[in-house]
Amino acid sequence: MCQHLRTIGDNYGLTCLDCGEVLEGYGYNVQTHTCRHVFQRYDEGYECMYCQEWIDEETYRFLYGDNA
């Protein structure tokens, strides 16, 4: 069992350097494929506040519905 003695963190969260377990938040240096997206609307579309993935209006409506 890892004691998580070596960790790395940023504004997204904290991750253990030894075992890779996410200890807080979304983990260090969150990536698109592991991110729990929180999108912010802009004129050009939507950008995830955590991993900076961009999606267009049509994709956002498909994923989150018309009431999102």
Please report, as a single letter, which amino acid is at residue 33.
Answer: H
- Determine the average pLDDT of the residues in 18-24: 87
Instruction: Select from 6, 46, 2, 53 the least CA-distant residue to 32.
Output: 53
Cα 24 to Cα 26: distance, rounded to the nearest angstrom = 6
- Determine the average pLDDT of the residues in 4-13: 86
Q: What is the pLDDT of residues 28-67, one digit of tens each?
A: 777 666 677 789 999 989 998 877 889 999 999 988 886 5
b/e per residue 22-59 (b: at least 16 CB within 10 A): eeebbbbebeeeebebebeeeeeebbbebbeeebeeee
pLDDT bucket at 12, cuts 50 / 70 / 90: confident
Range of the domain at 66: 33-68
Judge if 40 and 67 occupy the same domain.
yes
Number of domains in the chain: 2
Judge if 22 and 49 occupy the same domain.
no
Judge if 37 and 65 occupy the same domain.
yes
